[in-house]
């Protein structure tokens, strides 16, 4: 099963060198264990853009944005056996933040990938493929 | 947290930590089977304690400490027996002075140990089946019952294989080490073979109705990724990984909603897994950079890469595929490779040229019961408008196919040829 872990926090925070080192070690271990397929950090929101539909109107707005409370800072893609494993890895990852970056607040969201044949889930790309 | 979900969490953590626990204990004890036993015992301890105490903040460090204490206890009991152990105990006891320090990540550099573990689990002295079981258990952390389910055999049979393999390891006094030079390449071949065996068992399940067993493919891929990261200078390891990633990238497109196989050229390519294709192409490139372009796995991976790179079936570089098969045939002298080459030649030069190759293979004893020979033959005959012969070829192929899905598919093709013959 494939999962992605998405880390979100307030934009102003920058990880401490200790945290960066510890996260690097964790990522290294996960790559060596063959579980992590991909990972990346994202540039600040100000460097991105948003394409929005609101009131039936489509608009493109370049960053920076006024109201950005939670911003995606990075993600990792895993190939695992169960959701429990994905959660255990997210807990380990967040524990590092708790230990090495006191005061930091944020979320690590764990999401399984859509897989063909998964019941009760709408496949947004089904029509495009057909 | 309910007891059941606590157990799920414990198993998940344990699966993540288990290879590290085994490799660390094996290094301390110089005994892989014992390390595996003590690692299992550690799981039992966690399953007893954590539901009462809650899951510790650093479960990995907790497991490592517990496992090492178990190892120390074990050595203490045998202290009088062996002078060598005396020395190890002292080392470990020194280490124990600082042991309650759970903050320090334990045994960061497990690469070499992991490689040793892989080589030990895939030792040629152990039977092929047992090597598969050991690798899945010690490196992937699959339970005996999971392995049994994947290979459609009883749990008792798998347990027995593991016990026997562990006994062989103990009794033969195998050095727990990574071989060097020529020995390494010989042993590596055995390791690669085991990994590819696991992958293929999952990719085309030879028996039964289940055409595709994803779980085994994923575990083989994991083993391949572990191997390339702990033995990064081995071109064939990267090549095998490339071959597996590229093959697996087509998983979602290989069957229709009812589970029937869809042929490569008819697959919806937008369903191919692009992440996996990129990983596969990268691994192949790495193999080529290491001067491994001509290896058996690299050539096969290069063939699949031709398909993976074609956005549409008719953009496939069949000329290159035919050349690669010719090169592979020079290495393997395998009638199956020759049959595949025939398919590629058929795409470049037309069905007539391909049929010449296929007809020359009809007396090959190795292909006597191989359903793909009459299947390919049927396809070529059909393209040449020789529907009557095509019909009989597809029927012969269906009679030989052991997998129900494939049999059904071939029967449908036979029906199509029969209709064309009569029409």
Task: Please state the three-class secondary structure of A85-128 as a single string.
Answer: HHHHHHHHHHHHHHHHCCCCCEEEEEEECCCCCCCCCCCCCHHH
User: Is the CB of residue B323 less than 8 Å from the CB of residue B293?
Assistant: no
For residue B233, the SS3 value is coil
Partner residues linked to A41 by β-bridges: A74
Whether B214 shows a pLDDT value over 50: the answer reads: yes
Residue A116 in contact with partner chain B when CB distance is under 8 A: yes
**CA–CA separation, B249 and B284 (whole Å):** 14
Say yes or no: A95 contacts chain B, CB-CB below 8 A: yes
Higher pLDDT, B316 or B152: B316
For residue B114, give how far its alpha carbon lies from the nearest alpha carbon of chain A (Å): 9
For residue B212, is pLDDT > 60? no
Opening angle at CA B14, ends B164 and B21, nearest 5: 65
Size of interface A-B (CB pairs under 8 A): 67
**A128 vs B270: CB contact, 8 Å cut-off?**
yes
Rounded to an integer, the average pLDDT of B285-292 is: 97
Phi-psi region of A81 (alpha: psi -120 to 50; beta: other; left: phi over 0): alpha
Cα separation, B254 vs A6, whole angstroms:
30
Let me know if B98 is exposed, middle or buried by CB neighbors in 10 A (0-12, 13-18, 19+).
Answer: exposed
Residues of B with CB under 8 A from a CB of A: 5, 8-9, 11-13, 15-16, 19, 57-60, 103, 105, 108, 110-111, 114, 215, 218, 221-226, 229-230, 252, 257, 268, 270-271, 275, 279
Task: Please state, in angstroms and rounded to a whole number, the distance separating the CA atoms of residues B199 and B132.
Answer: 11
Compute the distance between CA of residue B259 and CA of residue A117 in angstroms, rounded to an integer: 10
d(CA B339, CA B375): 11
Residue B171, Ramachandran bin (φ over 0: left; ψ between -120 and 50: alpha; else beta): alpha
The band of B80, judged by pLDDT with boundaries at 50, 70 and 90, is: low
Q: Is A126's Cβ below 8 Å from some Cβ in B? A: no
Query: Where does residue B198 rank: exposed (0-12), middle (13-18), buried (19+ CB within 10 A)?
Result: buried
The answer to which of A7-11, A83-87, B221-225 has the lowest mean pLDDT is A7-11
Task: Write out the DSSP string of B142-168.
Answer: --HHHHHHHTTS-HHHHHHHHHHHHHH
The span from the CA of B346 to the CA of B323, in Å, is: 13
Residue A117's closest CA among B253, B344, B244? B253
The two three-digit tokens of residue B253, written as one number = 């497109």
Q: Is the pLDDT of residue B187 over 90?
A: no
Q: For B339-350, give the DSSP string.
A: HHHHHHHHHHH-
| Higher pLDDT among residues B81 and B49, named by residue | B49
Coil vs helix vs strand at B422: helix
Average pLDDT value for residue range A101-111: 94
- Give the integer Cα–Cα distance in Å for B20 and B35: 11
Q: In what order do the strands lie in the sheet with A106-112?
A: A36-41, A71-79, A2-9, A106-112
Give the chain B residue whose CA is nearest to the CA of A79: B218
Q: What are the residues whose beta carbons fall under 8 Å from the beta carbon of B224, sequence distance 6 or more?
A: A34, B195, B199, B237, B240, B241, B244, B245
Residue B102 scores a pLDDT above 60? no
Q: Which ipTM value was assigned to this complex?
A: 0.85
State the burial class of residue A53 (Cβ atoms within 10 Å of its Cβ: 0-12, 13-18, 19+). exposed
Average pLDDT of the residues of chain A: 87
pLDDT per residue as tens digits for the range B162-181: 999 988 888 876 666 777 77
Instruction: Find the CB nearest B252 among A33, A79, A116.
Output: A116
Give per-residue burial for B244-256: e unless 16+ CB within 10 Å, then b: bbbbbbbbbbbbe
pLDDT at A68: 66
Give yes or no for residue B76 having a pLDDT over 80: yes
The pTM of this model reads: 0.86
Closest residue to A84, CB basis, from B9, B59, B215: B9
| Cα dihedral B123→B128→B129→B131 (10° resolution) | 20
Q: Could you give the CA distance from residue B217 to residue B173 in angstroms, rounded to a whole number?
A: 32
User: Which of B2, B10, B12 has the highest number of chain A CBs within 10 A, making it the mutation to test binding with A?
Assistant: B12
Cβ within 8 Å, pair A82-B12: yes
A34·B15 Cβ contact <8 A: no
**Cis omega (within 30 of 0) on the bond before A80?**
no
Q: pLDDT by residue (tens digit) across A3-45? A: 999 999 987 778 899 999 999 999 999 999 999 999 999 988 8
The C-alpha angle with vertex A65 and arms to A60 and A67, in degrees rounded to 5, equals 125
């Amino acid at each position: 099963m494939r999962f992605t872990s998405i880390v979100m926090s307030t934009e102003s925070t920058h990880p401490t060198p200790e945290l960066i080192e510890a996260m690097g070690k964790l990522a290294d271990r996960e790559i060596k264990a063959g579980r992590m397929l991909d990972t990346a950090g994202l540039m600040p929101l100000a460097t991105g853009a948003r394409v929005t539909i609101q009131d039936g109107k489509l608009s493109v707005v370049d960053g920076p944005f006024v109201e950005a409370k939670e911003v995606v800072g990075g993600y990792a893609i895993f190939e695992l056996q169960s959701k429990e494993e994905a959660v255990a890895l997210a807990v380990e990852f967040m524990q590092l933040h708790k230990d090495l970056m006191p005061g930091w607040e944020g979320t690590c969201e764990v999401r399984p990938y859509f897989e063909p044949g998964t019941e009760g889930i709408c496949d947004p790309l089904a029509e495009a493929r057909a | 947290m309910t007891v059941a979900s606590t157990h799920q969490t414990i198993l998940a953590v344990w699966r993540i930590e288990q290879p590290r626990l085994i490799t660390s204990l094996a290094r301390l004890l110089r005994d892989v089977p014992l390390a595996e036993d003590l690692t299992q015992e550690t799981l039992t301890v966690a399953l007893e304690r954590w539901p009462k105490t809650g899951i510790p903040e650093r479960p990995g460090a907790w497991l490592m400490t517990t496992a090492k204490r178990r190892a120390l206890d074990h050595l203490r009991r045998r202290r009088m027996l062996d002078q060598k152990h005396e020395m190890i105990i002292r080392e470990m006891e020194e280490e124990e002075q600082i042991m309650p320090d759970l903050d320090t990540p334990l045994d960061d550099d497990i690469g070499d140990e992991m490689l040793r573990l892989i080589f030990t689990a895939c030792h040629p002295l152990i039977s092929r089946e047992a090597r598969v079981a050991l690798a899945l258990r010690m490196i992937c952390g699959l339970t005996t019952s999971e392995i049994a389910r994947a290979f459609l055999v009883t749990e008792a049979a798998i347990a027995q294989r593991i016990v026997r393999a562990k006994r062989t390891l103990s009794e033969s006094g195998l050095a727990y080490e990574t071989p060097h030079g020529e020995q390494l390449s010989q042993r590596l071949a055995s390791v690669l073979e085991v990994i590819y065996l696991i992958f293929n068992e999952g990719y085309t399940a030879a028996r039964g109705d289940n055409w595709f067993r994803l779980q085994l493919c994923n575990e083989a891929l994991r083993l391949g990724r572990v191997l390339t990261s702990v033995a990064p200078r081995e071109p064939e390891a990267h090549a095998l990984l490339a071959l597996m990633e590229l093959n697996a990238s087509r998983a979602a497109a290989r069957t229709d909603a009812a589970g029937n196989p869809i042929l490569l050229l008819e697959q919806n390519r937008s369903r191919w897994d692009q992440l996996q294709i990129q990983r596969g192409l990268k691994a192949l490139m790495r193999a080529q950079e290491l001067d491994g372009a001509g290896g058996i796995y690299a050539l096969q991976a290069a063939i699949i890469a031709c398909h993976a790179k074609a956005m549409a079936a008719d953009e496939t570089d069949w000329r290159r595929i035919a050349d690669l098969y010719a090169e592979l045939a020079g290495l393997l002298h395998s009638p199956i490779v020759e049959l595949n080459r025939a398919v590629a030649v058929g795409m470049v030069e037309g069905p007539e040229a391909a049929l010449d190759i296929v007809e020359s293979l009809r007396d090959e004893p190795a292909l006597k019961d191989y359903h793909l020979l009459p299947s390919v033959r049927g396809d070529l005959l059909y393209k040449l408008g020789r529907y009557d012969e095509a019909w009989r070829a597809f029927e012969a192929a269906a009679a030989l196919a052991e997998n129900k899905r494939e049999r059904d598919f071939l029967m449908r093709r036979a029906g199509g040829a029969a209709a064309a013959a009569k029409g």
